[in-house]
Amino acid sequence: MFDQLMKNGSGLLESAEPGAEKDELEAKLTDVEKRWNDIKQNTAEHGARVNSALPEAEKYNESASSLGPWLTETEEKLASLEPIVASKDIVEKLNDTVRLIREDIDKHRPERDAVSEKSEAVIGLTEADGDIIRSEAQDAVERYDELDTAFATEEKELQDVLQLLDQYNNVMEPVEKTVEKVDAALESQGPISADVAKNKEDLDNLKVGMNFFFNRRGSLRFTGS
């Protein structure tokens, strides 16, 4: 249509007599041609931006739509974790649960990075909704980072408690054995007799056991402090 218009206009110019009307017609044709070329250029540039933005937008939407629900689910898992107590079995079970969640957090890090990177690419290529996309992406990235930090803290606390429980058990085991030995020694003591040497031997054996017990108790008290 445009080409036909320009062809007809050129034909009129060729047949027109020189003068103001011909000059006016020529100016109009020149203006129309310029405007048309500007429209073609702008349309081409817009199409190129759309073609560039579309793959980035698809990647962003894919990552964002997956990351959002997962964040909500994992935040709920964090909130529902059992409290840390002084029981090795319970702490080890809790540690296994946290370890599985940690693996899941690391597995979703590429989605977090994609939301951060692709959102900026989409914003740079689009002309609308930039503030909305930036806000949504920033919120998702911040939630992921806060979740990552919270679980790192939980992991450290669990490891600290497990270490303390191991230290406690290492001290308690010989202490309990010593108590059993002292109890057995007391039960094996016969009635006090006139045999002074025998009484002295029994007393010395009892002192050895009691001294060992109190030394271990001191270590236990230091470990638990």
Write out pLDDT tens, residues 45-54.
766 766 766 7
Task: Tell me how crowded residue 167 is: count the other CB atoms within 10 A of its CB.
Answer: 15
DSSP secondary structure string, 99-150?
HHHHHHHHHTHHHHHHHHHHHHHHHHH-SSSHHHHHHHHHHHHHHHHHHHHH
Residue 189 reports pLDDT greater than 90: no
CA-to-CA dists, residue 217 to 170, 223, 224, angstroms: 12, 10, 11
pLDDT tens for 195-211 read 545 555 655 655 555 56
Amino acid identity at 49: R
**Angle 165-169-170 from CA coordinates, rounded to 5°:** 115
Write out the two tokens for 73. Answer: 């689910």
Domain residues of the chain, as ranges?
Answer: 2-224
Confidence label for 225 from pLDDT (cuts 50, 70 and 90): very low
CATH number of 2-224: 1.20.58.60
**Angle 170-175-178 from CA coordinates, rounded to 5°:** 135
With a CB cutoff of 8 Å and minimum separation 6, the contacts of 166 are 88
Q: Is the pTM of this model over 0.85?
A: no
Mean pLDDT estimate for the chain: 75
Report the distance separating Cα 93 and Cα 99, nearest Å: 10
pLDDT at site 1: 60
